[in-house]
Structure 1
Amino acid sequence: MTRGSVADSDLDSAIQPPFINPFVTGPATAAPMFIEVQELVSRVRGGLEFDQNVFASPVSAHFRVLWLQTARWVNFEQNYDEVEQRFTEAHISPMRFTRVTQLCEQMKKHGAVLVVKASTLGHALDEVVRHALSYGCVASGSECDVLRSVLLAERWHPEVKGQISDVAEFDKYWNSTGSEAVNLAFDPDEDDQETVTSKRRDTAQRLPQLPRRSTFHAILDLQTKPAHPYHRYNQALTDCLDPGAEACTVLCGTIEFLRKPLIVLVCIPNGIEQSCASEVNVPIRFIFVYLGPKSNEFKYTKLGRIFAIMMSNSTIFRAGIYEAQTVDDVLRSIDIFMMDALVIPLARHTNPQALAAMVRQIEAYKREGAYVMDMDRRSLGLSLKPSQTEFGVLEPLGSRKMSALDLALQDGALDQAEFARRASAFRAQEADKQHLSCRRRFVKDFCPPFSDLVRGIRPWCQRMSSDYRDAVTKENVGTVISSVLFLYFVNLAPAITFGALMNLQIHNSFTISLAILSTGSFLTLFTLLSGQPLGFVGITGPVFILESALASVARTASVSLPILRLWVAIYCCAFGLIFIIFNVSVLGNHIRRSVEEVFNSFIAFFYLVKSLFTMFRLIPATPGVGANTATRVLYSKQCAIAGTTLFLAFIKLQFCLAMAEIKRGTYFRRIIRKLLGALNVPLGMILITALNQIFFLGFELPTINIPPSNAVNASHWFNMPEFARLFDFAGSAALVHGAGIAIGFALCIIVFTEVALNGITAMKNKAVKSNVFVMDLVLMLVIFPVISGLLGWPFVSGASVRTMSNLVALVKLDPSPAPGMPHRVIGTVEQRVSGTFVGILVALSIFLGSILKFIPLAALYGMFLYMGMMGLRDLQFFQRCLALMKRRKHWEDWEFVRGLPSAHILVFATIQIVVIGILVALNVISEVTVITYAGIAFPLVVIFYAILRETALTRWRWLAIYLHQLDKKYKLDPQASKRNMSIPRSLSLSTKDASAHAVAIAYHTSVKDALTEAASAAAFETDSSAEYSDHEDGIIRRTWAT
């Protein structure tokens, strides 16, 4: 099928043909390339003045001049600053139209394209000298010799230690072998070995005055390729190049004895390898020479830079240069390049803010993917695709996707009658989809029973062995070992904090030793057996709320807390089995960003509310008027303890925030910043402990209640129920079972949600292995609740914040980013070893009681404040709320508000604020009233919001237009096939009659209204080019642990 045609079977498929340059028969995107500009400069005083002595001894010209690297390109341009002796910051290359025009005019007059199958630099440059002689740039053999010596002069690269050129290597090679000089006219295609020997003898006799150090053959040998053991390159810059990269060298400058400009593009199909002509160790594919006599009209370095700038464009200009055979091909490529170029007028006032605002326009231009040609002005005989704004779109409700019908009409592939017939079929097909999609989706997702579990066993087994092999590979073992210490503190600190709070506020049977041991044990088991070993589990805020509600119900019903917890575990296990039987795990693929942010916002506010209420409860009630002295002294002491606790907690908060800013800043070296970030929490605890021991020791601040190392009691590790009293409900059997069912269902929903968010978080760093979510549910909903109920351990759930810290510790970054580019995430070390070691170390921390007992509770409260603030800091919901407090002109180019009307942002943020407000109100009610079990209703609020988002908001026409930008979907499994939405749709560039387009445009206007009615009837959320949030971007939300 030719490009531009649409088959009947492809009506509903997206047409995404690759862009094909109409002038280039090669690939649409050329190989990556390093480009550099080398300017001819004087090495000695008067080095660029060539007198008769130089022509009498051409080799001396080699030591009079130097090729200085003045600019280079990897992705952006860098210029060499001779004052600062360094390359400037990478930037986009500006250029003048007048320079481009001058380059084209000079190329037409003096340009040439040489295709040379050379393996050495000397051979390639010798062809340039031959062309200069034949074209009349030089008039005599002595001028040829000087030009050849100049072209082979030493290259000076500022960032390469030692300037060793090919010339010096040739000289060293020939001196070591005792070879004699070679002739200027050496040509292996014409001369046999006897002739070559004769010519070398004649040349040696003709140049007897040359010293041994600068033998003429060292400059002029063009054919023999010696071993090069003395090459020096910029290895750091070489490492940042993509595999298969090539180099282009632009040589420009002024040579006074040239009769006319010498403009030559040397194409080397096989490339010149291991040549010091380039700064990097990649094959030299192109050499562009622009030399000429002194001229007041042209600056050869400026025009040579224009060619280098165009060569940095891989999709337009460079792709044409790869196939260029004549100067006309080069000029045609320049013409296409200029059609695609953006014009930026010089403003009177230029500031960084104004330039940064252009990013959106540039990105929008690049997404168009079309190259609009002016037919009257260019007369190229081609009909390009019209822009979408010229025709409108098929779906007016904000859709960014065009159907195959619309594309075919625009491309001229359908006539009037055929388009009308297919439009009618399209409307009927869309109507059928609305009636059948829901039923079919339900059957596919939830039937037959256990299908998701059966499908998940195979990928779970397949990744199991690789998770251990990948941890011990040479490139990963260092990352795995170094991450263990950081992750140990990330998991130990919450275990201690929640253990202390549960001991104080829930029941004294929940000791800190029990919390530490249970957290380490569950983490070890989960890492070994889960479907996503990058996820971390432990005690979380929502689970703490359920534990508080359980304690309240137990006190109300006069039932043993371990007995009630066991029944809750049984019911949670039962609901978990139902979830697995009916494949409820597929709902994890429908979690959207807004649901995650509502949940994370609630958790962040829980940390803030819990820490503040706990600290303010330390403030004692004011004693009465008749209180005795002992009561007043006790009151003063308690006030001192409360005030000091608040002070130390805020000191811990400010210290951790400062360490987080240092980590993300530019102070110190990267390794130091990374170390400070990894040890943020333990350093804060050490600081608060030191302040307490030095300044506040007499205040007797409350510290962690944990037995010392020499008094460890295994009985504190378990809190098992009395099974003989399993059915002893103290006359409240209905209350116990009712509360058990309600709390068990709430626990099941909480664990399901947190484990799903855990899995989503684990996929954000370009994870490639299968995420077997159903196996995580088997552990977290069936096995772990039963273990917690039997052993009396706290219930655990997915801890997405700790999972983020795991990703940060195991991330693999591009070790050598190109200049001007940030470190790019290239993947994650997906393995089970580090998590297993972390779990074991956390469990063994129960023997560190002699050290942990000195930590004051103020450090734990400060940590909760830090966790809450960092949990809100980088949520898009929170950032949108902050943006709405400013006028729109003060907004930065934030992605989460880009292209969105302020009214829509306000409405959507208000809906989220109302939901979060309800959740926080439930949390506050459970804290300040006797209704402590009110907090267990929050899973129902989250479910209600998720249903509201998927049903009501998508049918609200005014808001549905932008829902796909306001709220993206997540996918749990990276192996699932995804449409490539990032590539803009492009149409055929094949020649068509212009009148056919006029007819198609006119008829599109008349038929579009009928299609608009079909698209508007459903009034659902529009299909989006960014429907699913990409996990490959490698962007991790900042939290207290990251």
Structure 2
Amino acid sequence: RWIKFEEKVEDGGVRWSAPHVPALPLHSLFQLRTCLQKGTMLLDLDALSFKEIINKALSEQPPEAELRPELRGRLAALLLCQPRHQTTKSLLRLLAELALSPCRGKAKSWTDPGAQVSETPLKEQLRNQFQKKVPPGAEAAHVAVGEVEFLEKPFAAFIRLRRGVALGSLAEVTLPSRFLFILLGPRAKVKAYHEVGRAMATLLTDELFQRVAWQAENREDIIAGMEAFLDELTVLPPGKWDPSARIPPPSYLPSPHRRTTTHPSDRQLHGDGDTSAAGDRAGLGDPRSGEELERTGRLFGGLLRDIRRKAPWYGSDFSDALHPQCLSAVLYIYLATVTNAITFGGMLGDATANMQGVLENFLGTAFAGSIFCLFSGQPLTILSSTGPVLVFERLLFSFSQDHSLDYLEFRLWIGLWVAFFGVVLVATEASHLVRYFTRFTEEGFCALISLIFIYDSLKKMRSLADAFPINWQYRLDNVTSYGCICNLSSPGTALAPGRVGEGLGGPQVSGHDPSSPPALSLQHPPTLAGLSRTQCLARGGHLLGTSCQYVPDVTLISFLLFGVTFLSCTAFKRFRSSRYFPAAVRKLVSDFAIILTILASCAIDATLGLETPKLLVPSELKPTNPARGWIIFPFGANPWWVCLVSAVPAVLVTILIFMDQQITAVILNRREYKLQKGAGFHLDLLCVSLLMVVTSATGLPWYVSATVISLAHMESLRKESVTSAPGEHPEFLGIREQRLTGLAVFVLMGVSVFMAPLLKHIPMPVLYGVFLHMGVVALNSIQLTDRVRLLLMPAKHQPDLPYLRHVPLRRVHLFTVIQLLCLALLWVIKSTVAAIIFPVMV
């Protein structure tokens, strides 16, 4: 059987083989062409049953191939016999049949010998699990070949029905049938007819030949379609490979469009290599080719165009979210956003004397993110605090302290100026400058943010190790010195050694030699208190106390949870493409990979019972610094001229916000994501600018698009084809574009204050592991990572990538090295006070 690739019934006759690329003898194709040239051909036949089709095929034979009347009857009876099918059964049904087989004896075929094709589907056809693999709208084609003793010459017929007709029990599954090919004849060479039938089935699965077969008006059109197929045929020499070897299906197949527009022989004859190069480059995706960034020449022209483009989709932005995958995305991005808010909130609190802290970051993220998801042009974007904004806040607070200015009032005026400049940029359609952001810029920015996520997750684990230091001086033989009592067998006798101090990481042994007796409490004789664990047990005593059993260190378990979380996230995400379990189970596990990992890690932590650091969120709605309120007044604390001077730093912040927002928007709207609802560069920038007014007036942090979390959001909403032919990889259909997941994430952020009792059970190392996973996934999604691997790979082992076909390898390496040097420069800038200008440097 074929859908796209060939499957054979194995020699045991009970299972189908793995799908593979059909390898055809060249001679069978020539014989097939002869059959099409000389045999019966009926195009657009009107028939409603298989019996009617056979009768017309036998009665309308060419004169030179016409059979005697008595042979027609025998041939018709043979063709109308019910074929045997190897049905695909579910695992539960196989187990049930296996359990009942001793009672039933030998399994019976679901067709009786000599039975004719039924006009209605059989129940075995309706229960066939193979139906799930058939794409929607597919039609069946039947190929019947074989040797018949009573025929003196071959009988061949190619039939195309005018309409797809369900032919009862003829097919393995219940599908309408359109094409039939019959080849019966006397005994010939071994498998000669069989190979001709395989050639015909392979032709019918070729997309270009299907078009020809559908539209052909006569025999010559069918022959021409086969000749075109032969023109593209590749022949393997017989002594250089094993014909019995099954070629596995390739990961990628050329599209029919490329096969029709570019022909290998034409390229060689005419030297036209640019066509193929252009085709390969077209697949890379260019976000700047759409009309989203075309200038209209009118004030707010781009904004109005964004609104007109997004308005028709607004209703579907909510209805498209009614899918279980969106629930997984909400929980995943919510936990990532909570962790990010706590991290940046803590750093903001340290940089601004708690004028902005964790609570302010929670409330600001919830408000700004919700408004952005409701009204933005690309609602899949996740807003968050970013590193350059944090650096600016630190510098601004220091400047305010040095010059006796009120920090929040000064910041309010800067935010108002930034909002004004942002509206001006929207009005003048400045977002069209995004056209000049190249792959070099996008990859450098994305790689830097991804590396920051990876570095910060490792840095957090390092700081956790400093807070809970490992007790390197622990000795099992001196366990009695850790508050453990040696109880001798003599009645009423107990020895209690003095206790040494216990630090964050567990008991801390003093600096003396571990083999020497530990320090003693004054009320116990030193000679008795010096007993070690071995000596206590040798005297017949036993150990009493909570410290007698060895307890692993908090840091070690935290690193274990960190590593398990990262590896489990990666493994569960890749589980979709594994060989185990049905496709529905693999998809479900992959969609909920992050949530399953977090639940499993929390269960491990709860089982161990160690006091690992947990997620702590604010539980009271009051400013972190009691000296400030929720509303910032523009006048009163600073001189009047501050409102004018604030325009100077506001220009720098505007450039920072514009670059950060638009580079992220370009990355998210790339063509390879197959977004259908369009982008909204001008509308997004307007939303971010107007939100600056509210967050500045309430003393909340400023927000801009978070690259890595936004990419993780899109990755969690990937759509793939539900049904795929055997051997065919699931097709990427695009992203589930909607507003509800982001909105739900930020609403949950707002109510997190009331969920503190539940969230406190999540260990921080688990969330750091999720952060590491997000950074690694984002880093692997860019071409730069592939080219870095090429630097370490000999040329003979390098993969067949499109750009390696058209660009010399040394130039690829030169481009990669320059990109790495620029990335290193950005990292240095990011690590200094000059980090505020890093978006401009990008």
TM-score w.r.t. length of structure 2: 0.75
Aligned to 2:307: 457
> Does 1:749 find its partner at 2:595?
no
Between stretches 608-617 and 257-266, larger displacement belongs to 608-617
Task: Tell me, in whole angstroms, the C-alpha distance in 1 between the residues paired with 2:377 and 2:269.
Answer: 49
Aligned to 2:12: 83
Per-residue displacement from partner, 1:91-149 (whole Å, max 9, x unpaired)? 222211122233445666x62224542211101112344468987876563x5443222
Per-residue displacement from partner, 1:858-888 (whole Å, max 9, x unpaired)? 4454444444333323321122111111111
Task: Tell me, in whole angstroms, the C-alpha distance in 2 between the residues paired with 1:809 and 1:465.
Answer: 22
TM-superposed deviation, 1:312: 2.4
Aligned to 1:95: 24
Task: Tell me, in whole angstroms, the C-alpha distance in 2 between the residues paired with 1:347 and 1:500.
Answer: 70
Per-residue displacement from partner, 1:60-111 (whole Å, max 9, x unpaired)? xxxxxxxxxxxx2222222222426232232222211122233445666x62
859 and 759 in structure 1: CA distance in 2 versus 1, 3 angstrom threshold: closer
> Does 1:305 find its partner at 2:198?
yes
Aligned to 2:562: 652
Aligned to 2:675: 767
SS in 1 for 2:728: coil
Structure 2 residue ranges without an equivalent (≥5): 91-110, 281-290, 470-498, 510-550
Per-residue displacement from partner, 1:168-200 (whole Å, max 9, x unpaired)? xxxxxxxxxxxxxxxxxxxxxxxxxxxxxxxxx
Task: Tell me, in whole angstroms, the C-alpha distance in 1 between the residues paired with 2:246 and 2:807.
Answer: 20
TM-superposed deviation, 1:236: 6.0
Task: Tell me, in whole angstroms, the C-alpha distance in 2 between the residues paired with 1:400 and 1:262.
Answer: 45
Task: Tell me, in whole angstroms, the C-alpha distance in 2 between the residues paired with 1:352 and 1:897.
Answer: 33
> Does 1:935 find its partner at 2:828?
no
SS in 1 for 2:360: helix
The aligned amino acid for 1:919 is: L
The aligned amino acid for 2:780 is: R
SS in 2 for 1:770: coil
SS in 2 for 1:272: strand
The percent of aligned pairs where both chains have the same amino acid is 24
Aligned to 1:528: 374
> Does 1:713 find its partner at 2:563?
no
Between stretches 843-852 and 748-757, larger displacement belongs to 748-757
The aligned amino acid for 1:532 is: Q
Task: Tell me, in whole angstroms, the C-alpha distance in 2 between the residues paired with 1:644 and 1:705.
Answer: 17
The aligned amino acid for 1:111 is: G
TM-superposed deviation, 1:686: 5.9
134 and 815 in structure 1: CA distance in 2 versus 1, 3 angstrom threshold: same
> Does 1:588 find its partner at 2:588?
no
- Among residues 74, 84, 92, which one is paired with 1:146 in the alignment? 74
697 and 538 in structure 1: CA distance in 2 versus 1, 3 angstrom threshold: same
Task: Tell me, in whole angstroms, the C-alpha distance in 2 between the residues paired with 1:649 and 1:663.
Answer: 21
Contact 1:533 1:831 in 2 (8 A): yes
Contact 2:661 2:685 in 1 (8 A): yes
Aligned to 1:663: 573
Aligned to 2:140: 247
- Among residues 412, 420, 433, which one is paired with 1:574 in the alignment? 420
Per-residue displacement from partner, 1:334-368 (whole Å, max 9, x unpaired)? 33432232223245367999989999998899557
TM-superposed deviation, 1:917: 0.7
Contact 1:460 1:531 in 2 (8 A): yes
1:411-490, aligned counterparts within 5 Å?
445=295, 447-471=297-321, 476-480=322-326, 483-490=329-336
TM-superposed deviation, 1:724: 6.0
Contact 2:162 2:178 in 1 (8 A): yes
Contact 2:131 2:173 in 1 (8 A): yes
1:595-994, aligned counterparts within 5 Å?
595-613=441-459, 616=462, 619=466, 644-645=554-555, 648-649=558-559, 651-665=561-575, 666=578, 667=580, 677=590, 697=610, 703-708=614-619, 712-716=620-624, 720=629, 723=632, 726=635, 728=637, 737=646, 740-741=649-650, 743-757=652-666, 759-760=668-669, 764-781=672-689, 783-853=690-760, 855=762, 857-895=764-802, 897-924=804-831, 926=832, 933-942=833-842
TM-superposed deviation, 1:834: 3.2
The aligned amino acid for 2:408 is: P
Aligned to 2:85: 157
Between stretches 241-250 and 814-823, larger displacement belongs to 241-250
SS in 1 for 2:827: helix
TM-superposed deviation, 1:399: 7.4
Contact 2:434 2:663 in 1 (8 A): no
Aligned to 1:341: 233
The aligned amino acid for 1:100 is: L
Task: Tell me, in whole angstroms, the C-alpha distance in 2 between the residues paired with 1:506 and 1:684.
Answer: 36
SS in 2 for 1:302: helix
TM-superposed deviation, 1:598: 0.7
TM-superposed deviation, 1:599: 0.7
768 and 896 in structure 1: CA distance in 2 versus 1, 3 angstrom threshold: same
Aligned to 1:430: none
- Among residues 237, 260, 266, which one is paired with 1:387 in the alignment? 266
679 and 351 in structure 1: CA distance in 2 versus 1, 3 angstrom threshold: farther
TM-superposed deviation, 1:916: 0.9
Aligned to 2:100: none
Contact 2:708 2:774 in 1 (8 A): no
789 and 78 in structure 1: CA distance in 2 versus 1, 3 angstrom threshold: same
TM-superposed deviation, 1:697: 4.7
TM-superposed deviation, 1:776: 1.1
Aligned to 2:207: 314
TM-score w.r.t. length of structure 1: 0.61
TM-superposed deviation, 1:657: 2.6
Task: Tell me, in whole angstroms, the C-alpha distance in 1 between the residues paired with 2:357 and 2:387.
Answer: 17
Task: Tell me, in whole angstroms, the C-alpha distance in 1 between the residues paired with 2:599 and 2:189.
Answer: 71
Contact 1:490 1:805 in 2 (8 A): no
Contact 2:65 2:155 in 1 (8 A): no
SS in 2 for 1:526: helix
488 and 370 in structure 1: CA distance in 2 versus 1, 3 angstrom threshold: closer
SS in 1 for 2:144: strand
The aligned amino acid for 1:915 is: C
451 and 85 in structure 1: CA distance in 2 versus 1, 3 angstrom threshold: same
Task: Tell me, in whole angstroms, the C-alpha distance in 2 between the residues paired with 1:918 and 1:389.
Answer: 45
918 and 388 in structure 1: CA distance in 2 versus 1, 3 angstrom threshold: same
TM-superposed deviation, 1:893: 2.2
505 and 854 in structure 1: CA distance in 2 versus 1, 3 angstrom threshold: farther
SS in 1 for 2:158: strand
SS in 2 for 1:516: helix
Between stretches 280-289 and 899-908, larger displacement belongs to 280-289
Task: Tell me, in whole angstroms, the C-alpha distance in 2 between the residues paired with 1:461 and 1:363.
Answer: 33
SS in 2 for 1:454: helix
